[in-house]
Amino acid sequence: MAAEAPHPMPRPIRARLPLFLAILLLFAVVAPVAAGEFRADDTVSVAAGETIDDDLYAGSQTVTINGTVNGDLSAAAGTVTVAGDVTGSVNVAGGTVDIGGSVGGAVRVAGGTVTIGGSVGRDVVVLGGTVTITQSAAVAGDVAAGVGTLTLAGQVGGDVLAGAGTMEITGGVEGSLDLGVEALTIGPGARIGGDVVYTSDREATIDGSAEIGGETTRRTPQRDPAAGPAFADNPLFSFLGILLGLLVLGWGMLFVRPRFLIGSGEQVRRN
């Protein structure tokens, strides 16, 4: 039986901490931009059998990775497909993003439609309209998401911290769930190792065959009903929005003016 508790929101933390953390992480992500391989064209691809022994920065309409990148991949494109191997992290802004290959580091994505079907060695941080972590996906770390619709059918080795309009879980999560949702479904075959804590106006739909190792707690949103969805008050998602917004700004420049930005990067590298 789910317990119910009020969920007060700390205003000072929400106002200041997300921006501070986002700026720190932004510098951590973009600081190495002067080193690496830079590609800009209508289509950027790393063919099967091709290996890039460096970080790759790509600005294009379409970015396709079928080969290997021994480093990080940072890309801005209408469509980004990673079917090969990236030994580092993947930082992507795109309309449609499909991560079906192997990523050794973290995946940080802002996209309209995002599909993760491969293996991720660290965390997944995603801001998107529709996000699907498919049955074939294996995420070693945590998943942090701010999305419209989130479907989790794969395996997550850590915790899931998410804000979503609707969320459905049929896969496995080794850790706990901390969610702000309009509608939550934990379906047949789902396995949660820790607690399930969710903030929502509605009771979750939990299938009788789902396994939950800890406690299930629903928190009632403490807000004006006209103020919007429950997850909007969570400082985690303020942080995600600011971080990914800053990243999108940089990636947007890479997409709109790739030759200018890439040329500047190459000049810095030569100097």
Please tell me the predicted confidence (pLDDT) of residue 2.
Answer: 53
Pairing of strands 155-156, 138-139: parallel
Please tell me the predicted confidence (pLDDT) of residue 111.
Answer: 86
Contact between 220 and 5 (Cβ < 8 Å): yes
Please tell me the predicted confidence (pLDDT) of residue 184.
Answer: 97
Contact between 54 and 39 (Cβ < 8 Å): no
Q: Which two tokens stand for residue 244?
A: 């990914």
Q: Which residues pair with 115 in a beta bridge?
A: 98, 132
Closest CA relative to residue 110, chosen from 187, 51, 204, 22: 22
Strands (E), 67-140: 68-69, 73-82, 85-86, 90-99, 102-103, 107-116, 119-120, 124-133, 138-139
Rounded Cα–Cα distance for residues 110 and 128 (Å): 6
Please tell me the predicted confidence (pLDDT) of residue 19.
Answer: 42
Please tell me the predicted confidence (pLDDT) of residue 27.
Answer: 41
Q: What is the mean pLDDT of each run of 10 residues along the chain (271 residues)?
A: 46 39 44 69 94 93 96 92 97 93 95 95 92 98 93 98 95 96 96 96 96 96 60 48 50 48 45 47
Please tell me the predicted confidence (pLDDT) of residue 228.
Answer: 52
Please tell me the predicted confidence (pLDDT) of residue 36.
Answer: 82
